[in-house]
Structures are given as structure tokens and as C-alpha cells.
Amino acid sequence: MSYEIIALMMFSLMMLMLLSGQRVFGAIGFVAAVFSLMLWGEGGVEMPFSAAFKLFNWYPLLTLPLFIYMGYMLSESKIADDLYRAFHVWFGPLQGGLAVGTIGLMVIISAMNGLSVAGMAIGASIALPEMLRRGYDKIMITGVIQAGSSLGILVPPSVVLVLYGMIARQPVGQLWLAGVVPGLMLAGLFMLYIVVRCRIQPELGPPLPLEERQMPMREKLRLLSAGILPLVIFLSMTGLFVMGVTSLVESSAVGAVAATLAALIKGRLNREVMENTLRKSLGVSCMFMWIILAALSFGAVFDGLGAVKAIESLFIERWGLGPWGVLIMMQLSYLLMGTFLDDTAMLVIVAPLYVPLVISLGFDPIWYGVLYTITCQIAYMTPPFGYNLFLMKAMAPKEVTLVDIYRSIVPFVGVMLFGLVLVMAFPQIALWLPGVIYGN
Amino acid sequence: MPNAIVKYVRMVDAVNRRVGRFAMYLVFVMMGVLVYSAISRTFFDLPLIWVVEIAQMTMAAYYLLGGGYSMQLGAHVRMDLLYGRWSPKRRAFTDSITSLVLLFYVLTLLYGGVSSTQYALEYGQKNYSVWAPPMAPIKIVMTLGILLMVLQVIATFFKDLAAARGKPLS
């Protein structure tokens, strides 16, 4: 049997397993275990466990549980409430202002955390009910929170870029800096979309009534002090890392400690907050780690099949694509697979196949990392399979239905695709900042 | 369900809950070790050679010992395109099959874990690093975590089967 057929069978079987409602790590792990057993017999039995040691040696992945812990600490202790109030008052008068302010809030949370879980939890529990109460269109704001929180993996720190950095063997510091401008650009585009949309259809986002925003200037300025805390956390974490004081993993631990201290100082750290933070962190960390564990053994089988060579010959020799054709093909296939399959697993399985090809075609691997992350963000949001969709359904108020959630992402995915094209056409958007800081 | 099975499910649930709730606190160990290392290096100019490996081992223990408890918490995502629309009974029936499929995967993990631990014990395997810690202890912990996961998956199978027959356990 040809290797292409085997690869195709692996993907189809995985797809079938996923449709049966199998837990994602179970579906991927089962396919990996069965095929390594069939292909390599007795030597293949140990492949699933070898993945545990590959994972063991992926030291930077320690940032994952630490960022998850930190994200839950920030959302469970509700220290982001003050921050939300500040945006609320300052942006409220604008048409659609609360939605614009929510994007701003999401950027700040993204700068404190490397995943989209924190932004999602804070957005769905604080911003969403407030905006619903003020008559904002529920479909638009559901999209706002999903798109906004997806910035968590692009604005540094970012766990997706850590994973990419490990697979592509690229420095995480440069990758993180490369994500800054594209992240802010996407946030700007989201805001622009909201403002324009609300200009055309004012009923979607009514401005805050006068009595709610009339407060003395001094009070308004005092609210801005809510911004100090995120700044301190950002500097103690990403700042110390980029300056070279702490290592990557240490910086995430510093961030986790800083978030805990912040909750303690604000008097929000009680038994319940601690219990919820620890339990949810364990659950989400286990979910991600078991998926990555299974995906690594799936990837190992693929590697054994010589998939990198097969894809290269398919794209270049058989389809006769030029470098840009290959690049666009890779993004499209990734988007398509990301829609139906698990996104974290896709990163672990597909990135090792694509990255060597990208480098051999002469593209910048740092820049490609940013493209990859934006593609990932889109994949996280597109049904039927996306973490943001799951999280949103679990966290949003009852009146937001699954259909609302599916419909809400459409315009934002459009904006993100536009952003993706911009970064593809103008690589300097990503490469300028790391160039300035690291001087290359 | 026979009495022995009910007892088994209860016992496995209780053990994994305890172990998982212990593992939950390991995140503090990771934080502590890493921050200690940063302070020691920055302020006292004393780099510590054991930090990376201790942190790695804690992480491995964290997610493997926590595995069974995370199953109980229902923390593992599924694609609910079809699954979400099924009746509870149909879901339970399908679950009992998917649990068996899952069991195959965790059993291969266990097989690999046991053989890797045996190797580490027999040859006194040490990690290839400056500190060179023996690898057997962490491998035993990892394999134990996987064993607990196997037991939990079997318990999950019984629970799904009972629910599919319309007589849910617990």
C-alpha cells in the first residue's frame, strides 16, 4: 500500500472517530497506536509512550499550565472588573463604544496571558452581560468577544508561538515580538469594523446613557489606575524575558506568582477562588497535554511514513506550484483542516511537515510563525470544531444560542483573513519590531 | 450492574479524585522552583543545575497523575457536531464504545510505560545532563499515572454502559 493511502486512511479514521463524539485525545491516540502497531509491529507498541518523553523534553511547554493557572487566577478573582469599568466609562459615549472598549480590554488581557481562555472567560462573564443589558446586538458582541480573545495567542506572551518555536526551532523572543504589531493591527481592524458597522446601523450599539457616564473628571482619571496592574504584570513577565533577565519558562512562573499576589493585595483571594483556579487549571492543562501527547505519536507515525518528502513532491513536482503558490496552499489546507480537526493537534501534526518546506523555499520562519498563528486564531473560531466556540457556549449567558455563536464569527473571520493577507503581502508588519529590538 | 463492578467504580473514582486533587497543587511546585531559580541566578549569581529537570518531572507528574481526575471532571473536549444532537441514551451507548476504543490507546501507553520503566531500573538509566538524575523514579510516577488513567477509563466504560441500559450508576 502506498504511503499516501496510509496517510489518507489515518486522517479519515481520525475524522470518523471524532464524529462519534470520542474525546479528541482518544481519537488521535487510538489512530496513532493502531497504525504504529500495524506498520512496525512490536517496535511500534512503544511509540505512544515515547511521545511522553518527547513531551518531557519540550521544556518550554511548561509555560502552558502556568499561563492557564494565571488566566484562571485573573478571571476567577475578578480583578479584571476594574479594568472593564475603566474602558466602559471612557469608551461608553461612542456608538458601539462598549464593544470597542471590549476589544481594548481583550488586548490588555492578551498582553498578560498566552492563551485565549482568560480573555474568553473575562469577556463572557463581565463584558457580555453588561452589553446585553444595554441593548447591544447579541450576535455582534458574541463575535467581538471571540475575535478579541483570540488575540491572546498572537499578542505576546503566546503559547501557540512557543509551540511553533519548539517545532520550527526558532527563538521565542523574536516570535513574540513579531506578533505585537500584527496583533495590534488586528485589534485596530476589529475596532474599525465595529465603529463603521455601528455608524451604518446605530441600533446595534447604542451609546451609554448620559447619567451613567456623567462623573467628575477626577473619578474618570482614577479609573485609569486600573491599568497599572496589567502593566506591572506585563513588565514583570514579558518585559523581564525580552530583556534577558528571566528565561521563558521562568517568566511564565513569575507571571503566575504576580497574578496570585495581585489577587491577594486586592483582597480577592479566598478559598473558593483558589479551589476553582486550581481545579480548572488542572482540567484544561490535562486536556491540552493529553491531546499534545497523542498528537506527538500521530506525528511520529507520519514522520516514519516520510510525509515531509511526500508533501514537498506533491506541491512542487506534481502540482508545479511556485513558492507563493505553496505558501498559499499550506495556509488554505491548514484553514480547511483546522475547521474540522482539533487545532492544537493540527499544530503538532502539521507544523513539522510544513516548516522545513517553508524554510527551504526561502521564506522567513519568524514571519511564517505569525501567519501560522493568525491562521490558528481563525481555526479556533470556525465551526464545527473550535475551542473558542466550545468555551463560548460553556461560558455565555443562556440567551446566546449555538446558532448565534456560529453566525457571530462571520464578519470577524473576514476581517482576520484580510489581516492575514496584509501580513503576507507586507512581511515588515511582523518583522519590523524584532528587527529593531534584536537588530537583524 | 453486579455489586463488584459498582464497588470497583466507586473505588477508582475515589482514588483518582484523591490523586488528582494532590496533582492539582503541583502547579505551585513548578512556580516555586522556577521563581527560586530566577531569584538565585539574578540576585545571588548562583545558577541551579537541577531546576529544568525538576520542573519537567513535576510537569509530567502533573498531567499524568491528574489524568484520571480530569476524566471525572469531563475536561476533555469532544467534537459535538453530531454528538450534541443525540439523545442521552444514544450518547451513553456510543460512549460505551468510544470508551473501549480509548482503553486500547491507554493500554498501549501503559505497555510502553512499563517496559521503559523496567529498562530504567535494570540499567540504572540517568538523564543525559549535567545533573544526571536517575530516571526510574519519574518513570514509575508516570507509569502509575497512566495505570490510574487505565483504571478510570474502565470505570468510565462501566458508567456509560449502565447509563445506556437505563440504570445509571451513582
> Residue A80 pLDDT > 80, yes or no?
no
In sign, the C-alpha dihedral spanning A401, A402, A407, A410 is positive
The pTM of the full predicted model, rounded to 2 decimals, is 0.90
Could you tell me which residue, A219 or A158, shows the higher pLDDT? A158
Band of residue A1 on the pLDDT scale cut at 50, 70, 90: low
The grid coordinates of residue A247 equal: 528565561
Band of residue A11 on the pLDDT scale cut at 50, 70, 90: confident
| Chain B interface, best mutation among A282, A289, A382, A405, by max B CB count within 10 A | A282
Q: Are A127 and A84 within 8 A, CB to CB?
A: yes
B76/A52 CB distance under 8 A: no
Which among A104, A127, A126, A118 is positioned nearest to A74, based on CA atoms? A118
Measured between CB atoms, does A287 come within 8 Å of chain B? yes
- Quick one: A272 exposed, middle or buried, by C-beta within 10 A (0-12, 13-18, 19+)? exposed
In whole angstroms, what is the distance from residue B156 CA to residue A78 CA? 35
In whole angstroms, what is the distance from residue A217 CA to residue A215 CA? 6
Q: Are B9 and B158 within 8 A, CB to CB?
A: yes
> Residue A310 pLDDT > 70, yes or no?
yes
CA distances from A283 to A50, A291, A346, A396, B72 (A): 23, 12, 21, 19, 9
At CA A194, angle to CA A192 and CA A199, rounded to 5?
95
In whole angstroms, what is the distance from residue A381 CA to residue A399 CA? 20
A52/B98 CB distance under 8 A: no
In whole angstroms, what is the distance from residue A80 CA to residue A257 CA? 16
In whole angstroms, what is the distance from residue A125 CA to residue A132 CA? 11
| Chain B interface, best mutation among A49, A281, A344, by max B CB count within 10 A | A49
* Residue whose C-alpha cell is 506578533: A179
In whole angstroms, what is the distance from residue A115 CA to residue A160 CA? 8
| Chain A interface, best mutation among B58, B78, B93, by max A CB count within 10 A | B78
Band of residue A42 on the pLDDT scale cut at 50, 70, 90: confident
Which among A91, A120, A94 is positioned nearest to A104, based on CA atoms? A91
Measured between CB atoms, does A247 come within 8 Å of chain B? yes
The grid coordinates of residue A245 equal: 533577565
ipTM at complex level: 0.94
Question: What does the mean pLDDT of chain A come to?
Answer: 85
Interface of A with B in 151-210 (CB under 8 A): none
Residues of B in contact with A246 (CB under 8 A): 38, 42
pLDDT of residue A213: 67
> Residue A93 pLDDT > 70, yes or no?
yes
- Quick one: A259 exposed, middle or buried, by C-beta within 10 A (0-12, 13-18, 19+)? buried
> One-letter amino acid identity for A68?
I
Which among A51, A120, A131 is positioned nearest to A91, based on CA atoms? A131
Measured between CB atoms, does A69 come within 8 Å of chain B? yes
B79/A21 CB distance under 8 A: yes
Arithmetic mean of pLDDT, A56-75: 88
Q: Please name every residue paired with B78 in a beta bridge, in sequence order, or none if there are none.
A: A23
Interface of B with A in 118-137 (CB under 8 A): none
Residues of A in contact with B55 (CB under 8 A): 59, 62, 249
Instruction: Indicate the DSSP class of residue B25.
Output: T
Band of residue A212 on the pLDDT scale cut at 50, 70, 90: low
pLDDT in single tens digits along all 170 residues of chain B = 788 999 999 999 999 999 999 999 999 999 999 999 999 988 998 888 889 999 999 999 999 999 999 999 988 878 777 787 888 888 889 999 999 999 999 999 999 999 999 888 888 888 888 888 888 899 999 999 999 999 999 999 999 999 988 888 86
Phi, psi of A139 (to 5 degrees): -70, -40
**Tens-place pLDDT, residues A149-200:** 888 888 888 888 988 998 888 888 899 999 999 999 999 999 999 989 888 8
Measured between CB atoms, does B49 come within 8 Å of chain A? no
**Tens-place pLDDT, residues A330-354:** 888 888 777 767 777 888 888 888 8
What percent of chain B is helix, strand and coil (3-state, nearest 5)?
A: 75, 0, 20
pLDDT of residue A440: 58
Q: Please name every residue paired with A339 in a beta bridge, in sequence order, or none if there are none.
A: none
In whole angstroms, what is the distance from residue A218 CA to residue A309 CA? 65
